[in-house]
Chains A and B, each alone.
Chain A
Amino acid sequence: MPETVEKVAIQLKVNGKPHSVTVEPRMLLVQLLREELDLTGTHVGCDTTYCGACTVLMNGEAVKSCTMFALQADGAEILTVEGLEKDGQLHPIQKAFGDSYGLQCGYCTPGLMLSTLQLVTKNPEPSENDIRKAIAGNTCRCTGYQNIFKAIRQASRNMKGV
C-alpha cells in the first residue's frame, strides 16, 4: 500500500545541472521532470510510448520519459527542451522549427526537437527517409508533418553552420 512505499535517493544531471532527489519507485521520469523539477516543457500525450511528446535525451539517446521510471535515470545526464537554448539564443534546431512554421499548437514540438537533435548529431546529412524514421515515434496532430520535414532539413543545415 502507498503508505509503506519507501522513497529512493537518486542523482542525475538535467540540462547540465546536478540534482539529488528522493523519488517513489513508481514515479516516472516525466513526472520527476515536470512535477519535482518544474521543467514543464516536456509533455505527456499518450502514456504508452507512441507519441513522443515526452521525448528527452538521456546520455545523448532519445528516450520516452513517460514510460521510464525516474529511478532508471539514476546517474544519467538528461537534456530537455529547456536545455536547448544557450544564453537566451535559440538552438539552431529551435530556429529551424520556428522559421519553417514547423509547429502549430507546440505540444509535440519539444519532443520532436530532441529527436531531431539525436538525428542530426549522429547523421549530419539525413535523407528524407532518415528524417521520417527518426521521428516515427513522435506524433504531431497539427502540422501533417510537412513543415516538420522542412524544419529538420533546415536544422541539419543550421547545425553545420554552427
Chain B
Amino acid sequence: MSVDGKGWVGKAVPRKEEDRLLRGRGKFADDIKLREMLYLRFVRSSYAHANIVSIDTSDAEKIPGVICTLTGSEIASQTQPFIEMAPDPGGKIQDYPLAISKVRYQGEPVAAVMAISPGIADDGAEAVQVEYAALDPVVDAEQALTDASILHEEAGTNKVWGGVFEYGDVEQAFREAASVIEIDRMHFHRFSSTPLENNVVIAQWDPKDERIYYSCNNSFPSFAIQFLAAHLNVHIDRIRVQTSDIGGSFGIKITSYPQMAVCALASKKAGGRPIKWVETRSEHMISSAHGNERTFRDTRVALDKDGVITAITSRHIDDCGAYPRYEPLGCVIWSQVFPGVYRFKNARIDFSQAVTNKCPVGPNRGYSRMQHLWFLERVVDICAHELGIPADEMRLRNYIRPEEFPYTTPNGCIYDSGNYPKMLEVAKQLIGWDAWKKKQAEARKEGRMLGIGIGTTLDSGTNNFGQAQIVNPGAPFSGNSQGANCKLDIYGEVVVAVGSCPQGQGHETTAAQVVADVLNINPDLITVRTGFDTERNVHTGFSGTYASQFAVSGLSAVHGAAQKLKAEMKRLAAFVLKSKEEDLEFGVGGQGPEVRSKSNGKSINYWGMANIVNVNSAVLPVEMHDVTLNCRYIWRAPFKVPDIKRKYGNLTMTYASQLHIAVVEIDRETFIPKILDYVAVDDCGTVINPPIVEGQVYGATAHGIGAALLENCVYDSVGNMLTSTFSDYIPITAMNMPTVKYGHIETPSPHSYSGAKGMGEGGAAPIHTISAALQDALFDKRIFIDDSFNNPDSLFRALKGEIGRADDIVKVERRA
C-alpha cells in the first residue's frame, strides 16, 4: 500500500513515537506517582574499600515523615545473594544490593531510607551514621591480580575469570615472520554513555496478592527478573515489570536489578506502600555502571614481507569494578570480533578479568568488542607506521576480502557479509582524502600537528548466549530468541506487542513497517505497544533491548507473528467469502483494511473478521475454532552450542560494519585536539528505516568522539571518583561535536529474513579513528597513542615526553 508499491520497509516512515514526545506527553518512569507512595534515598559509602564497623539509623528514624530504613544485614537474612555468572572462584562472590560487612567501591549503597517526600528521605539519609574502618583500595586491575588486597574474601582472589583463546599455529607464524613488532602496554579507558534519564525504580510488594510490581527503566527486564526471582525467593511470575518511555540506556540500565531489589524489599518493610527511587546524576556517575576498562600487555605481532599480519599474541586484563554482575560475559563477548575486520588466522589471547574498588561495569554501547577492536586498530596502525606502510594501504592488505564472505573467523564466527575496501573508498571520497593529504603536507611544513586517521569497526549483533558456556561450562544458556504478538483486537484494530524495551530506537515505527508490509496496509493503521511488560507474555529469557539486535531478533519475531496472523486471516476470510485462499488479496477498501477475493469480488474488513472470532463466534465452524486472530510467535536464532574446549563456534548472527575517517589537528599552544573533518560510513545490510539508521550512526559517533576526547571516569589512587558530575565528566555537547558526513553501503545479510543486520552500538569507531588520527598527527615525534582517551593534558604530557614514548612502548625486529 506504500505509494510506490514496494512496501514500507526501507522507507523514511515518520516515527510513531514522535507525537507524544514532542508534546511533552512521553511517559517516563519518574512521571508516575502512586497512592501512598514513599521515596527512597540511599546512604552510600564514602570509602572505596572499608569494613563497616557500625550503622546507626536511629536518628533518621526519628525524623517526622521517615517511615522506615533498611540495611544490608536485614536484606541478607531474607534473600539469596545474586546469581554469579562466573565459575568458581569468581562464582563464590556474594553480591547483595546493600553492603553487609564491607564496602567495595565509593558510592556503594549501605542503607536505604524511606520517607513521605524526596526531601525528607534526603534528610533521613544524612542522619544515618556509618562508621568505617578503611582497607587498602585497589584501583588498578593488574595490581588487583597480585591479590595483595582482596575485595571478596569468599572468592579468595581478585581474579574473576581467566582463559586462553588460541587458534591456528602461532609459533609457526612467528618463525616465518618477516618482521615482529612488540607493543608493551596499551590501555582502554573507563567511560559511560550516561543516558540523560537516570535510573528510576518504582516498586510495590503488594500484600494483597503477594506480587511485586515494577515500573522502571531497566533495559533488559527478562534478565532482571531472572536475577530478582532467585534473589528474592519468589516465583518469577510474581514479578511484573513494566517500562514505558525510557530516556536512553546504551546498556547502562541493564544492571539496575540490585536497586530494583532494594525497592521491593523496602516496600515489603513499609507494609506494601509503593517505593520510588529516582537516581541523582552523581549517584549515576559513581554507582550505576561504567564501561569495561581493559589493559593490553606484551602484544607481539608477526607480519610477512608485505606487512600482512600473520599472527598476534597478547595478554588482556579487563577491569570489571567491584562486583561482576553482567560479567564475566565480557571475557568472551569480545571474541565475537576476534580478528576484527582482518584476515590473520593465528592468534593467542590470554584473557583475564579482575575486580577492583571501582564502580561495577555494565554492558555499555559497544560492549567488550570495542575494547578489542580498538586494540586491533592500534596494532594495525602501529605496525603500519613502523613498517612505513600508509594506513589505508595497510588496511587494504589486511582486510577480509569482499569475495570471502560469508567468512569463518579463526574462532568459528561467521561474518555474514561486508565490503570493507568499498567502505574505505566511499569514506575517502566523502572526506576528500587526496585534498586532505595535500593540506596535511603543507601543514607539516609549518610544523602543525595535523593527522588523518581511519577506524574500521564491527557491530556484531544478536548474540549466541551459548558463548556464556565458554566462560562458565555450567551456564544454562545458549541461542537467542525474541517474542512478539500480533492480533486483531475485538474491533479489528491491528495491535502488535514485542519483547523489546526501546529507549529511542524507534521500535514502534519499524515494527509497524514490517507488519504493514505483511498485511499490505499503512503503518498508521497499526498500533505497536510502547515499552515492555511481562504481562503481555511476549518475552523470552533474552527479551530486552541490547546488543544491536532488534532489526534481526525483534523484527523477525514481529514478522513471524504477523505472518501467523495473516495465515489465520486467510483461513477465516476464505471460509466467510467462500473463496480459495490463493484468490485472496490483502489491502484497504472502502471500509478500511480488508481481505478480498479476486475470484468473486467479495470482501471482509478487519472489523468483520474480529467480530466473528471474538463476539459472533457461533457462526464459526468447529474446525476453525483454533483461529484466534491473536498470534504469538517466538523467533529463535539458528545457533549451536559452541565447542567449549576449543572456544569455537558462531557467536553472533550479523556483523554490521562502520568505517570512519577523521582529520584532527592538535593546537600547538593549547594542545586541544580539534576535529577538522569527519566521515562515518555505515553498512548494516538492508535498511528498515534510513533516517533511524542514520540517527543511530550519529549518536554512536557522538558517544565515540566524546569517549575519545572528553569523557573519562577518573579515580584517584585511593578510589575517590573525581568525575561524579556532568561538569567534571563533560558529556559531549553541541560545541564540541563536529559536523559528520554520513555515507552508506549495503551488503544484505544472508542470515536474517530481511537482509538487515542489527546496528546501533556502532563499534565505537570514533575511538579507533581519533586514536589513529592523533597518531598520524604526532607521526614524526616518536610518540605512540597507547591510550583510548586523549585530552589536551595527556597530549601535552606526551609531547613533553612523559607518556607515550615510542621507544619505551614499541620494539621492531626486522628479519627480512
Asked if B91 CB lies within 8 Å of chain A CBs, one says no
Contacting chain A: which of B18-26, B225-233, B355-363, B533-541? Answer: B18-26
Q: How many residues of B contact A (CB 8 A)?
A: 63
Give bound CA distance, A146 to B742, whole Å.
10
Q: Measured between C-beta atoms, what is the minimum distance from A39 to chain B in Å? A: 7
Q: Measured between C-beta atoms, what is the minimum distance from A70 to chain B in Å? A: 12
Partner pick for B725 among A27, A46, A99, A138, CB 8 A cutoff: A46
Partner pick for B21 among A45, A106, A149, CB 8 A cutoff: A106
Are A90 and B23 in touch, CB under 8 angstroms?
A: yes
- Residue among B18, B282, B692 with max Cβ neighbours from chain A (10 Å): B18
Asked if B462 CB lies within 8 Å of chain A CBs, one says no
Asked if B698 CB lies within 8 Å of chain A CBs, one says yes
A98 touching B737 in the complex, CB below 8 Å, given contacts A47-B280, A104-B505: no
Query: Contacts of B24 on A, CB cut-off 8 Å?
Result: 39-42, 80-82, 84, 110
Give bound CA distance, A146 to B691, whole Å.
12
Are A104 and B506 in touch, CB under 8 angstroms?
A: yes
Q: Measured between C-beta atoms, what is the minimum distance from A69 to chain B in Å? A: 13
Closest to B64 in A: A3
Query: Contacts of A90 on B, CB cut-off 8 Å?
Result: 22-23
Q: How many residues of A contact B (CB 8 A)?
A: 59
Asked if A43 CB lies within 8 Å of chain B CBs, one says yes
Asked if A103 CB lies within 8 Å of chain B CBs, one says yes
Are B23 and A82 in touch, CB under 8 angstroms?
A: yes
Name B1-49 residues within 8 Å CB distance of A: 14-15, 17-19, 21-26, 28, 30-31, 33
Q: Measured between C-beta atoms, what is the minimum distance from B38 to chain A in Å? A: 14
Give bound CA distance, A91 to B280, whole Å.
32
Give bound CA distance, A101 to B505, whole Å.
11
Partner pick for B695 among A3, A136, A147, CB 8 A cutoff: A147
Query: Contacts of B25 on A, CB cut-off 8 Å?
Result: 41, 82
Name A24-46 residues within 8 Å CB distance of B: 24, 26-27, 34-35, 39-46
Contacting chain A: which of B207-215, B244-252, B425-433, B553-561? Answer: B244-252
Binding site for B on A (CB under 8 A): 1-3, 24, 26-27, 34-35, 39-48, 50-51, 53, 80-82, 84-85, 90, 94, 97-99, 101, 103-110, 113, 131-133, 135-149
Are A104 and B699 in touch, CB under 8 angstroms?
A: yes
Closest to A133 in B: B735
Query: Contacts of B691 on A, CB cut-off 8 Å?
Result: 101, 147
Asked if B63 CB lies within 8 Å of chain A CBs, one says yes
A50 touching B725 in the complex, CB below 8 Å, given contacts A40-B31, A44-B30: yes
A105 touching B120 in the complex, CB below 8 Å, given contacts A3-B64, A45-B197, A51-B731: no
Query: Contacts of A147 on B, CB cut-off 8 Å?
Result: 691, 695, 698
Query: Contacts of A27 on B, CB cut-off 8 Å?
Result: 119
Q: Measured between C-beta atoms, what is the minimum distance from B263 to chain A in Å? A: 19
Are A85 and B503 in touch, CB under 8 angstroms?
A: no
Query: Contacts of A136 on B, CB cut-off 8 Å?
Result: 733-735
Name B163-205 residues within 8 Å CB distance of A: 193-198
Give the top 7 A-B pairs by smallest Cβ distance, nearest first.
Answer: A41-B24, A107-B247, A106-B21, A105-B504, A104-B504, A144-B702, A144-B698
Query: Contacts of A104 on B, CB cut-off 8 Å?
Result: 248, 503-506, 695-696, 699
Partner pick for A141 among B119, B248, B701, CB 8 A cutoff: B248
Are A107 and B737 in touch, CB under 8 angstroms?
A: no
Partner pick for B504 among A35, A110, A142, CB 8 A cutoff: A142
Closest to B696 in A: A104
A105 touching B695 in the complex, CB below 8 Å, given contacts A42-B24, A48-B727, A94-B22: no
Are B731 and A141 in touch, CB under 8 angstroms?
A: yes
Closest to A137 in B: B733
Closest to A148 in B: B734
Closest to A50 in B: B726
A101 touching B726 in the complex, CB below 8 Å, given contacts A80-B24, A106-B247, A136-B733: no
Are B248 and A105 in touch, CB under 8 angstroms?
A: yes
Number of A-B contacts (CB under 8 A): 189
Give bound CA distance, A106 to B506, whole Å.
11
Closest to A115 in B: B734
User: 13 A–B contact pairs at CB < 8 A?
Assistant: A2-B64, A43-B196, A46-B725, A50-B731, A84-B23, A98-B14, A101-B15, A103-B504, A139-B733, A140-B196, A141-B699, A142-B695, A144-B702
Query: Contacts of B699 on A, CB cut-off 8 Å?
Result: 104, 141-144
Partner pick for A97 among B22, B695, B703, B725, CB 8 A cutoff: B22
Asked if B65 CB lies within 8 Å of chain A CBs, one says yes
Are B196 and A146 in touch, CB under 8 angstroms?
A: no
Closest to B193 in A: A141
Interface string of B670-693 (1 = CB under 8 A from A): 000000000000000000000110
Asked if B281 CB lies within 8 Å of chain A CBs, one says yes
Are A107 and B733 in touch, CB under 8 angstroms?
A: no
Are A45 and B281 in touch, CB under 8 angstroms?
A: yes
Query: Contacts of A51 on B, CB cut-off 8 Å?
Result: 196, 726, 731
Give bound CA distance, A146 to B738, whole Å.
9
Q: Measured between C-beta atoms, what is the minimum distance from A27 to chain B in Å? A: 8
Query: Contacts of B73 on A, CB cut-off 8 Å?
Result: none
Query: Contacts of A106 on B, CB cut-off 8 Å?
Result: 17-18, 21-22, 26, 245, 247, 504
Give bound CA distance, A81 to B248, whole Å.
20
Query: Contacts of B14 on A, CB cut-off 8 Å?
Result: 98-99
Asked if B101 CB lies within 8 Å of chain A CBs, one says no
Give bound CA distance, A84 to B701, whole Å.
31
Asked if B304 CB lies within 8 Å of chain A CBs, one says no
Interface string of B724-745 (1 = CB under 8 A from A): 0111000101110101101000
Query: Contacts of B726 on A, CB cut-off 8 Å?
Result: 45-46, 48, 50-51, 139
Query: Contacts of A103 on B, CB cut-off 8 Å?
Result: 18, 21-22, 504
A2 touching B65 in the complex, CB below 8 Å, given contacts A24-B119, A110-B24, A138-B734: yes
Are B701 and A50 in touch, CB under 8 angstroms?
A: no
Query: Contacts of A142 on B, CB cut-off 8 Å?
Result: 196, 248, 504, 695, 699
Give bound CA distance, A14 to B196, whole Å.
25
Q: Measured between C-beta atoms, what is the minimum distance from B806 to chain A in Å? A: 33
Are A141 and B123 in touch, CB under 8 angstroms?
A: no
Query: Contacts of B737 on A, CB cut-off 8 Å?
Result: 144-146
Give bound CA distance, A146 to B280, whole Å.
28
Give bound CA distance, A131 to B727, whole Å.
21
Give bound CA distance, A34 to B278, whole Å.
13
Closest to B739 in A: A146
Name B68-119 residues within 8 Å CB distance of A: 119
Query: Contacts of B701 on A, CB cut-off 8 Å?
Result: 144
Query: Contacts of A26 on B, CB cut-off 8 Å?
Result: 119
Closest to A42 in B: B24
Query: Contacts of B731 on A, CB cut-off 8 Å?
Result: 50-51, 139, 141
Q: Measured between C-beta atoms, what is the minimum distance from B288 to chain A in Å? A: 14
Query: Contacts of B740 on A, CB cut-off 8 Å?
Result: 144, 146
- Residue among B248, B699, B734 with max Cβ neighbours from chain A (10 Å): B734
Are B250 and A141 in touch, CB under 8 angstroms?
A: yes
Are A50 and B734 in touch, CB under 8 angstroms?
A: no
Are A141 and B280 in touch, CB under 8 angstroms?
A: no
Q: Measured between C-beta atoms, what is the minimum distance from A36 to chain B in Å? A: 11
Are A46 and B281 in touch, CB under 8 angstroms?
A: yes
Q: Measured between C-beta atoms, what is the minimum distance from B767 to chain A in Å? A: 14
Query: Contacts of A135 on B, CB cut-off 8 Å?
Result: 733-734
- Residue among B21, B30, B64 with max Cβ neighbours from chain A (10 Å): B21
Q: Measured between C-beta atoms, what is the minimum distance from B251 to chain A in Å? A: 12
Give bound CA distance, A53 to B236, whole Å.
36
